[in-house]
Amino acid sequence: MKIKRTWIAGLALTLAAASPALAGHDHGWGHSTSSWSCHGGGDGSFSLSTLSGQYVFEASGFADDAKPGEISVLGTLTFDGNGKVTNGNLILTHADSVQASCADSFDIGGAGGVPTGNGTYTFNNPGGSPGLFSMVLPLVPNPAATPPVVNAGSLNFGILVPGADGKRGKVIETDNGSLIGVTICGTPITALDVKGSLKQLSWGGDD
């Protein structure tokens, strides 16, 4: 009996000692999942100002110009925290039977390269989390490029921002139906399927 009581007492001590570690592990798991609603950003609320500053924009997918092919985008977008977004430096590459690449496809700006701020974004779910945003990027020509870049129309995107600090987000192109009047790199595009990510330049975290 003495041996049995000693064994039970030892088991109880082992469980008691393990409980804080288990609790800490649960807390860590909870923190990981809750980061989608509050990633260390102020009071945890979302607004237009959640997206503010310069972000790396990287995306890829497929485009149809009568011959479906892959399309990729890489560069930067700048959000002003109040509903305007401008392109700092974007390169778009499209490949089907012919490889085509052009720079500054989205809202390159007006005279002297000064951004016009024609790109816009809106916040779609006040009081909710994660943050859901919509973004419209105009496709503008760049006649000063060599060779000149011919772009027209605009594209619509949805953005999901997991944390209220606005450090990163997932992006997907959301245009419905056939694209009308959209020209990218001089090629009319009738359908587009693109998704990618935003990451704030000042943030060193992983995607």
pLDDT tens-digit profile of 8-24? 444 343 334 443 333 33
Where is 34: in which H helix or E strand? helix 2-34
Q: Which helix (H) or strand (E) holds 183?
A: strand 183-184
The model's pLDDT over 43-102, given as tens digits with 9 standing for 90+, comes to: 579 999 999 999 999 999 998 888 888 999 998 999 999 999 887 677 888 887 667 777
CA of 149: how far to CAs of 66, 84, 138, 187, 196, in Å?
20, 23, 14, 10, 23
Cα–Cα distance, 50 to 41 (Å, whole number): 9
Domain spans of the chain, in order of start: 1-34, 48-200
How many percent of the chain have pLDDT more than 90? 33
Amino acid identity, position 73 = V
